[in-house]
Amino acid sequence: MTAAVFTTPPIVVVDRWTGRQASALQTALRLTNETFAHRLGVSVRAVAKWNAIPHLVPIPELQRVLDTALSQAPADAQHRFVLLADTTRQITSPDVGTAA
């Protein structure tokens, strides 16, 4: 299998992050819960919660942190994120703004 080389990252805009998309970013970056939490400046518990509750919507401050992490990710990780995350699907959740 030949690996594809990506030089220009895709333009990705996440209108509203969910646990599913946060988990997709973690997977795309190939980070453990602990390393991802440290990189974002959040608790490991918050990352575990995103993984466990895919429809959960993080608070606005953490939405901005995830935006920054995605924009600073290497091109190959951004491409993986696009493949892993369903960024076109909107999920309505009663948990909006209640997540760590």
Task: Tell me the whole-structure pTM to 2 decimals.
Answer: 0.78
Question: In angstroms, how far is the first alpha carbon of the chain from the final one?
Answer: 40
Instruction: Give the tens place of pLDDT for each residue, 18-76.
Output: 999 999 999 999 999 999 999 999 999 999 999 999 999 999 999 999 999 999 999 99
pLDDT at 58: 96
pLDDT at 1: 60
Which residue has tokens 């973690």? 26
- Hey, CA dihedral for 87, 17, 28, 65, is it positive or negative? positive
If we measure between CA atoms, which residue out of 4, 42, 2, 23 comes closest to residue 85? 23
